[in-house]
Amino acid sequence: MIDGILSLLFGGGRNVVVETAEVFRSNAEKDAARGAVLQSAALEQFGREFRVVRRGWFDRLMDALNRVPRPAMALGTMGLFVAAMVDPVWFAARMAGIALVPEPLWWLLGAIVSFYFGARHQAKGQEFQREVAASMAAVPRVVQTVRDVEALRDVSPDAPVQGPVASESSGDNAALQDWRIGR
């Protein structure tokens, strides 16, 4: 009778107790495995989406030219202050000319400058996200490398060597055996 009850609960490769418990509480080990698979897939997709692309000389030249307007505007504005102090009459003539610019042209200039800096900000933000994705994709390799290095810290000279080196240094080397005996 006990055998019948136990085979009913645990027989046929099933565990009714575990299956019943999993109805009320999820299996933590299976949840962790599903989470690891999900995170790995998300990182892989993120890495593919934001992969680093090698840029040619033209792209680098255009990026360098795109860096010019902001410093030029800042230095030009400071230059206007210097010009106003050095030659106020010359400066006043130039500012009088600027005062004649119609208002719609000022709006157009404002829109162009806004779009330029807004697009540049967005492009730099996306480039930053690609770099973050590449760094995140490298995390598992770095963690494994750190673990490998930390494992080397625990190796002492007297500890038995494991892995492929152990088979090479087992009992075949007579000089090594003599040295071990001498220690």
Kindly report the pTM of this predicted structure.
0.35
Alpha carbon distances (Å) from 176 to 1, 86, 108, 167: 64, 86, 84, 13
> Which pLDDT belongs to residue 38?
92
pLDDT along the chain (183 residues), means of 10: 68 67 80 90 83 81 85 92 93 90 90 82 82 82 85 67 52 81 83
**Residue where the block lists tokens 């400071």:** 78
Looking at residue 160, what is its pLDDT? 60
Domain ranges (residues) in the chain: 54-100
Q: Closest by alpha carbon to 113, among 102, 103, 123, 121? A: 121
Can you read off the two tokens belonging to residue 168? 């090479």
Region label for 59, one of left (φ > 0), alpha (ψ between -120 and 50) or beta (otherwise): alpha
